[in-house]
Structures are given as C-alpha cells and as structure tokens.
Amino acid sequence: MDNDFNYTPRTVENFEAIGFSGNFTLPGEQCHVIRKASLTSFDVRFNNLATSVANIVGCAPSSLNQLLVLVGKDKVARIYESFPMSMRIVAKGDIKAGTAVFDSDIADIREINFSDAVVTISPEDGEKIIWIFRDGFSFGMYFDLTDELVKSELPTNLAHTYLQTRYFNLYQALSNESIKDILGYGWFPFIQLLGKDFESIHGLICQGMIEKIPNWVELEFPQDRVKKFTNGWWSNSFFTEKKSILAEGLDCFFNKQYSACISTLTPMVEGIANSYYQQVTGKGIKYDGNSITQAITNMSTSKFSQSSLTFPHLFKAYLETYFFKNARSSTSKASTRNTVSHGRAEPECFTQENALKTILTLDQIRFYMTSNGN
C-alpha cells in the first residue's frame, strides 16, 4: 500500500540509550538520568535533549519538526520522519461524520495516536518511544526510555504533551498571578471561550479595561452564537429534566431581560449538579456553597485530568472565588448564587455580561457530566 511505503522507517541497530543526563558530571560524580519526560521548547532543557536525540538517531535538526522513534525489546530503533497521527477529542457540539473539524470545535483533546484510516504505528508494552513535533513556533517532546512503557496509557500521555505545546500561552496565562483577577471578576476559560475569546477577556482585565467588557460581550456573543451552543444542552438528560426552566431563562436572555435570566438560571447550577450527584452517588448535595463546589469538582475530576482544557481544578477556584462566594453585607454588587438567591444583588448586577457568565457556567458543568450519569 502507498501508506505503508510512505511510513517505512529507517532502522538503527543496538539502540542502548536508557535516558538523558540532567546535569554535567565528572568521573566519579553522581549523574541525574532523565528516563521519562514531557516538555516543550520553552523548557531550558529542550535544546540539549533534542540535539542528543538528533545525534543518536542520525538525523538533521530539521527533521525534528516531526520525528518518531520506537525502540523494540531487540534494541532496534525504528525512526519515522513521516507517520500518521490522529486525536480523540471532546467536541463542543455535534460533528457529522466526514465533515471538517476546526480548532473551534475542540473542547478537549483526550488522546493522541499514530494512526490513520489504514495504518497504526505504536510501541508495545515495555518498549521505548521518543516523539518530537512542532506546532506553530513551539516544539513538544515526549520520551519514555524506562523499559516500563504501558501501551494503553500512552495516548493520554501524548495528549498531555500536545496540549502543553499547542496551548502553551493559555496554560502560561492561567499559571501567573493575573488569574486571581480573572476569577475575581467572574471570568474563567470556559469551553466556549477557548482561543481568542479568552485571550480578549484576559487582556482587557489585565490591562485594566474592565469597562470595555460589556461591549465586547454584546459584539462577540450575539443570539445566534448563544443559541447554537445552548442547543447542545438538550442532549444531556440532566439538562432536559429541567428544560422548561432552562429554556425560559434563555428566552429571557434573548429578550434582554437579564434580571429574570440570572434569577432563573443561577439556581439551576446547583439543581443540575444535585440531580447528577444523586444519581451517581445515591446522595444529594448539601445546600452550602462549599459542598456544591466540592461535588462539581468531584464530577469534573472523575472525567477530566488536571491538564485538560476544561481545567477542572481551576473551575473549583472559580466557583469558590466568584460563583459561590458568600457576600457579607446586606447588599452586594456581585452577581453570585448567594446574592441573587437571597435577593441581595443590586440592580446594576443584572447585566448581559453577568447573564452570559451564568449561561457559560451551566454550559461548563454540562461537559463535566455524562448524559446518563454513568
């Protein structure tokens, strides 16, 4: 087959490498040997490690744009400079078979595999792998030279490396001090914001241009866009249970009745989470915000890893910092579950921006739960 021919590797006999040195070492001194790692070209170690790989497999540095090395137990290295690649994603919405998939369709990347419709290339248990790739102006690298590779775990590990490389700027933005301000203003890298939308929100808040967010919301989230992603709610059984209430709240949003929208939809975050948790555990959630936050965190972390684009641990911080924050005064300018449900939110809280935050919060937990709770 043509595909088989295109993916034919070079081979190198007697591949003996067991790892890479982590420090300069003189004779008689101890050397730290890195045997397994996931890193990007933003890591100071990347250049040295990548150069070492190029040297031991006998390839030009330009080949590191796409390189796959698989080493069998016979110590024969198969070196691919052309190989298939596929990914298993969590989709934001419906995707018909055979249609093009875009970045904007991706809610998360769960697995990376070296396969296409015809060919599958994969190491077996106990073999070795080195994968180097380029995405835009960044490189990623994953290697496991431990002789303890577990084939079934590899696609998830590769996905982690791919995410850290492709979305480096996003992960970097979420790791610095600015994230406290983002959460404090009630924003989060919601699935529907991934990409340029969250970059815009992040930039406006970090540059102190909060007053421009309402206009941005009005421009970037017209009715058609909100209707498109909220139509996906009805494929989830826990949302369809409360469809009449949710639909009424959404209609209020579309009719610019933001106080009615927020008042209707805010309690549904707790209500839907409780329905899900009751089916999964047989127990309901207590009424306090901490219990609700922990329950939502439990459901999210059971489905997604910490490095997932759904950011389950950061969502916990968002719920604690903003959505379930307790207001101490008799009135509050914050549009949170506590202020809205107890009638303490001031009139200026009921805006299009805050209504959208509530809708995006509901949409986020939809991705954290399976439709039937199993």
Q: Report CA 32 to chain centroid distance, whole Å.
A: 32
pLDDT band per the 50, 70, 90 thresholds, residue 278 = very high
Q: What is the mean pLDDT of residues 50-59?
A: 91
Say yes or no to pLDDT of 3 above 90: no
Residue 195 zone, left/alpha/beta (φ > 0; ψ -120 to 50; rest): left
Report the alpha-carbon distance of residue 191 to residue 227 in Å, rounded: 15
- pLDDT, position 329: 53
Tell which wins on pLDDT, 253 or 184: 253
Query: Which residue's structure tokens are 């805006």?
Result: 351
Bridge partner list, 79: 10, 69
- Up-side HSE of residue 154: CA atoms within 13 Å toward CB? 23
- pLDDT, position 150: 96
| pLDDT tens digit sequence for 98-151 | 899 988 899 999 999 999 988 999 999 999 999 999 999 999 999 999 999 999
- pLDDT, position 344: 79
Say yes or no to pLDDT of 289 above 90: no
Write the DSSP assignment of 280-329 as a string of letters.
Answer: HHS----SSHHHHHHHHHHHHHTTS-TTSTT-HHHHHHHIIIIITPPP-S
DSSP 345: B
- pLDDT, position 59: 87
- pLDDT, position 32: 83
Tell which wins on pLDDT, 284 or 362: 362
Name the percent of the chain lying above pLDDT 90.
68
Say yes or no to pLDDT of 282 above 50: yes
Which residues, including other chains, have CB under 8 Å from residue 109's CB and lie 6 or more apart? Answer: 87, 88, 89, 90, 159, 162, 163, 309
Say yes or no to pLDDT of 226 above 90: yes
Say yes or no to pLDDT of 277 above 80: yes
- pLDDT, position 205: 93
Query: Which residue's structure tokens are 């249609």?
Result: 99
Q: What is the mean pLDDT of residues 346-363?
A: 94
- pLDDT, position 200: 94
- pLDDT, position 176: 81
Do residues 143 and 168 touch, judged by C-beta distance below 8 A? no
Q: What is the mean pLDDT of residues 49-66?
A: 88
pLDDT band per the 50, 70, 90 thresholds, residue 60 = confident
Structure tokens at 222: 């017209």
Name the percent of the chain lying above pLDDT 70.
95
Do residues 154 and 38 touch, judged by C-beta distance below 8 A? no
pLDDT band per the 50, 70, 90 thresholds, residue 192 = very high
Q: Provide the 3-class DSSP secondary structure of residue 174.
A: helix
- 317, exposed or middle or buried, with CB in 10 Å at 0-12, 13-18, 19+? middle
Do residues 285 and 274 touch, judged by C-beta distance below 8 A? yes
Mean pLDDT, the chain, rounded, equals 90
Say yes or no to pLDDT of 159 above 80: yes
| pLDDT tens digit sequence for 294-332 | 999 999 998 998 889 999 999 999 999 999 887 655 555
Say yes or no to pLDDT of 239 above 70: yes
